[in-house]
Amino acid sequence: MSSLPKIDYPVHKIKVPSLKKDFQFRPFLVKEEKLLLMAKESETPTDILTSIKQIINNCSVDPKFDVNKLALFDLEYIFLKLRSLSVDNLIKVSYRDNEDNKVYEFDVNLDDVEVKFPEKSDNNIKITSKSGIVMKYPSASLYDDKEFLSLDKDYMFELIIRCIESIYYEDQVYNSSDYKREELNEFLDGLNIKTFEKVQNFLLSVPRMEYKIEYENSLGNKREILLSSLNDFFTWR
């Protein structure tokens, strides 16, 4: 008996927003859909995002692609684009208007979803004229970080530690990966308040997906809905 044929699928380029580079992906298949269904049944947001990360990794056909180097907004964006390529670029979303209390349905074209970068965000946080911190966006690897996921307090402080790329003083650069968490913790404790606030503001203004819906409600008023996360585009439960 001969083996069943293996089906070839088209390969598509998707630009990773934070890297501004194109990578190649195949559409997701039944096995990826099963991963997502199993995660949805668990009703745990972390399980869903971990499955999305696995789906993206499965669909990558580019040897240079590393899902763990993605920012979280990259992960969400790529998944939407894969959903568009694999199933349909159009999805229906419904929202209840809090002014007239009526539910409105809209068709959303996933091909029109973009990632918006803040205009005045700088990942180089200066401490003095000779020193500073270079930050990076929260990465997809956070969903494999059990210690971080189990936190019930100090969420922002721990996120900052994981988003420090390097620290510099004059011509010397100290890569965060070379130091223990306790050492980075001690360094942050020694920052002045204004510098720490700049670090926090960087993480509070990370790029995000954006799709704007404009409509007129039954009262004749112009309304606007801004979709900016996967939860806005899909009902997981």
Asked if residue 4 is part of any domain, the answer here is: no
Which residue has tokens 């930050």? 135
**Assigned domain for 132 exists:** yes
Position with higher pLDDT, 197 vs 156: 197
What pLDDT is recorded for position 23?
A: 96
What's the rounded mean pLDDT across residues 126-131?
Answer: 94
Identify the pLDDT of residue 237.
41
Please give the residue range of the domain that contains residue 147.
Answer: 124-204
| Residues 43 and 102 reside in one and the same domain | yes
HSE-CB of 234 using CA atoms within 13 angstroms = 17
Q: Same domain for 183 and 195?
A: yes
Residue whose token pair is 């240079």: 64
Q: Which amino acid is at 87?
A: V
Residues 134-193: pLDDT tens digits?
999 998 887 777 777 666 777 888 899 999 999 999 999 999 999 998 999 999 999 999
**Residue 191 counted as domain residue:** yes
The span from the CA of 225 to the CA of 76, in Å, is: 19
**17 is written with which tokens?**
């927003």
**Rounded CA gap, 78 and 71, in Å?**
11
- 7 domain-assigned: no
| pLDDT at residue 236 is higher than 70 | no
Residue 54 and residue 169 in one domain: no
**pLDDT over 70 for what percent of the chain?**
96
Task: Give the lowest-confidence range in 141-150, 196-205, 206-215.
Answer: 141-150
- Same domain assignment for residues 108 and 212: yes
Rounded mean pLDDT, 43-50: 76
Average pLDDT over residues 38-53: 80
Q: How many whole angstroms separate alpha carbon 113 and alpha carbon 35? A: 24
Q: Are residues 111 and 215 in the same domain?
A: yes
27 and 131 part of one domain: no
Let me know: does 115 contact 73? Beta carbons within 8 Å: yes
Confirm whether 199 is domain-assigned: yes
CB 151 within 8 A of CB 181: no
Q: Please, what's the b/e burial string for 49-82 (b: 16 or more CB within 10 A of its CB; e: otherwise)?
A: bbbbbbbbebbbeeeebebeebbbbbbbbbbbbb
Residue 161: inside a domain, yes or no?
yes
Do 41 and 21 belong to one domain? yes
The answer as to whether 221 is a domain residue is yes
With beta carbons less than 8 A apart as the criterion, state whether 141 and 49 touch: no
Residues 100 and 184 in one domain: no
What's the confidence (pLDDT) of residue 207?
94
Q: Is the pLDDT of residue 224 over 60?
A: yes
Q: What's the confidence (pLDDT) of residue 235?
A: 64
Tens of pLDDT, residue by residue over 83-110, are 999 999 999 999 999 999 999 999 999 9
- Write down the pLDDT at residue 99: 95
Check: CB of residue 1 under 8 Å from CB of residue 69: no
Note whether 25 and 11 are within 8 A (CB). yes
pLDDT for residue 9 is more than 50 = yes
Q: Which residues sit opposite 210 in a β-bridge?
A: 114
39 & 105 share domain: yes
| Tokens coding 24 | 């190649």
131 with 107, same domain: the answer is no
Residues 16 and 99 reside in one and the same domain = yes
- How many domains does one find in the chain? 2
Residue 1 lies in a domain: no
Q: What is the pTM of this model?
A: 0.86
Please write the tens of the pLDDT for every residue from 30-39: 999 888 888 7
Tell me the Cα Rg of the chain: 21
Per-residue pLDDT at 100: 96
In this prediction, residue 43 carries a pLDDT of: 66
Same domain, 151 and 173: yes
Residue 149's pLDDT is 67
